[in-house]
Amino acid sequence: MSEKSIIRIAILDDDQEFREVLSMILNKSEGFKCVATYQSCAEALKKIEEDLPDILLLDIEMPGKSGIESLKEIKSVFPTVEVMMLTVYSDSEKIFQSLRNGAVGYLLKKSPTDKLLEAIREASEGGAPFSGEVARKVLQYFQTPVGQVIPSLLSEREKEVLDALVEGHSTKNIADKLFVSTHTVRFHLHNIYVKLHVNSRSEAVAKAIKNRIV
């Protein structure tokens, strides 16, 4: 098999044992080559240009900068590198944050080796591979009426903060009402703005009312 037809893969995961085992599996599989493993986003950003992977397998839960944050930064610097999430998390919020930040696929670590190799090949050929469980959630998202989609992406606490916002409460009043600090309320507000794709309180309130979120 020619070098050109071999899929070059890099792994970004803080678990050293997982990196080593997966690297060994890839290198023993025909048509695949693990060209590098990284334990942090900073290391990946320094070395990707030299390693030139076709596909980057990226974990989500890592100390410091999460995989989802790392994804956005890596894609901004290396837009041609296809990134596929490889994680244990299957909750909707992480799935859609990953897709919004540029992931071309989302696979669970419990996937059998043959499914993983198939997904890597699919991603390298321009596809968008998902684990069955993840694909179902993506499908449900697009089958859900607009007014019900956004609430499913908000945590219960974020819904409470948004509800208080619609009622006209200030940040301090929301903090007092929910028995949390104003810093915590601001943190939830930031997440709400990101998920609603808005930039201000007034836009958040308008969107919440329009889509009957609260």
pLDDT in tens, 98-113: 888 889 999 999 999 9
This prediction's pTM: 0.67
Question: Per-residue confidence at 184, pLDDT binned at 50, 70, 90?
Answer: very high
Mean pLDDT of the chain: 87
The answer to whether residue 7 scores a pLDDT higher than 60 is: yes
Q: Give the separation between CA 75 and CA 77, rounded to whole angstroms.
A: 5
Residue range 169-195: average pLDDT? 90
**Any idea where the domains of the chain sit in the sequence?**
3-140, 146-210
Beta-bridge partner residues of 10? 36, 56
Query: Which CATH number does 146-210 carry?
Result: 1.10.10.10
- Buried b / exposed e over 121-145, threshold 16 CB at 10 Å, is ebbbeeebbbbeebeebbeebeeee
Which pLDDT score, from 0 to 100, does residue 214 have? Answer: 66
Which pLDDT score, from 0 to 100, does residue 197 have? Answer: 82
3-140 and 146-210 in the same fold: no
More confident call, 54 vs 197: 54
Which pLDDT score, from 0 to 100, does residue 151 have? Answer: 58
Please write the tens of the pLDDT for every residue from 50-71. 999 999 999 998 888 889 989 9
Dig out the tokens for 2 from the structure: 């020619």
210 and 158 Cβ atoms separated by less than 8 Å? no
Domain 3-140 has CATH 3.30.70.270: no
Which pLDDT score, from 0 to 100, does residue 207 have? Answer: 78
Which pLDDT score, from 0 to 100, does residue 145 have? Answer: 55
198 and 189 Cβ atoms separated by less than 8 Å? no
Question: For the purposes of burial, counting CB atoms within 10 Å of the CB of 72, is it exposed (0-12), middle (13-18) or buried (19 or more)?
Answer: middle
* Percent with pLDDT over 90 in the chain: 54
Question: Per-residue confidence at 136, pLDDT binned at 50, 70, 90?
Answer: confident
Question: Per-residue confidence at 4, pLDDT binned at 50, 70, 90?
Answer: low
Residue range 142-167: average pLDDT? 73
